[in-house]
Chain A
Amino acid sequence: LAKTTQPISMDSYEGQEVNITCSHNNIATNDYITWYQQFPSQGPRFIIQGYKTKVTNEVASLFIPADRKSSTLSLPRVSLSDTAVYYCLVVGGNTDKLIFGTGTRLQVFP
């Protein structure tokens, strides 16, 4: 499974849009890009998954360029409750494994 690289931490203010970019240079043809969110003292929670172009749900948008070597998670108008660790994962078509990296610790300030 492709290794992912993302910033260790990011700071933002309430109401701003936050974009977290993840690189996955060795992504395979059948792999998907998945993002999870983890609040302190809780288990990770699925946010969004995509294969290419753009995916949007009620929580976030995921932008994937044509070469799929990177992806950007976009959180519109963050609030204090969005303070969490965000994990970018590449999920392979032949396995159920989720391989978590270090994640990006997002801190939202008032």
Chain B
Amino acid sequence: DTAVSQTPKYLVTQMGNDKSIKCEQNLGHDTMYWYKQDSKKFLKIMFSYNNKELIINETVPNRFSPKSPDKAHLNLHINSLELGDSAVYFCASSQRILSRGRPSSYNEQFFGPGTRLTVL
């Protein structure tokens, strides 16, 4: 009955390869996110989708491409992997609460267990 799940948990690959990380949530939420946590433990948002629509797209290399086939899934595809891509990637989900047509602050996010990506 895992709320937010990610696969794989560990990913070791060579520079230049293309890889994907999958995320699924069974909470019925309409918004999903990808975060990156680097070796210094800084956690930064990368993307967010609401009902399959991209709503947050931070300054991320275009080698990173999120895909949301439905509300419950948000996958992250990374092309031409580089050493600097090594990090832990977290998926999260929340239910957007709108107040007067704008998102409310009260949007607790549920995080997955993370995917540790190591690029050699």
Contact = CB atoms under 8 A, between A and B. Distances in A.
A92 B57 CA distance: 17
Interface in A84-109: 85, 87, 91-100, 102-103
Interface stretch (B12-20, B67-75, B76-84, B95-103): B95-103
B25 interface: no
Bin chain B's interface residue count.
20 to 34
Contacts of A85: 41
B48 interface: yes
Contact of A41 (B31, B55, B114): B114
B43 A92 contact: no
Contact of A49 (B33, B55, B106, B112): B106
**When A and B form their complex, which 9 residue pairs have the shortest distance between CB atoms, in order from nearest?**
A43-B111, A32-B105, A100-B43, A91-B105, A46-B108, A43-B90, A93-B105, A44-B111, A96-B103
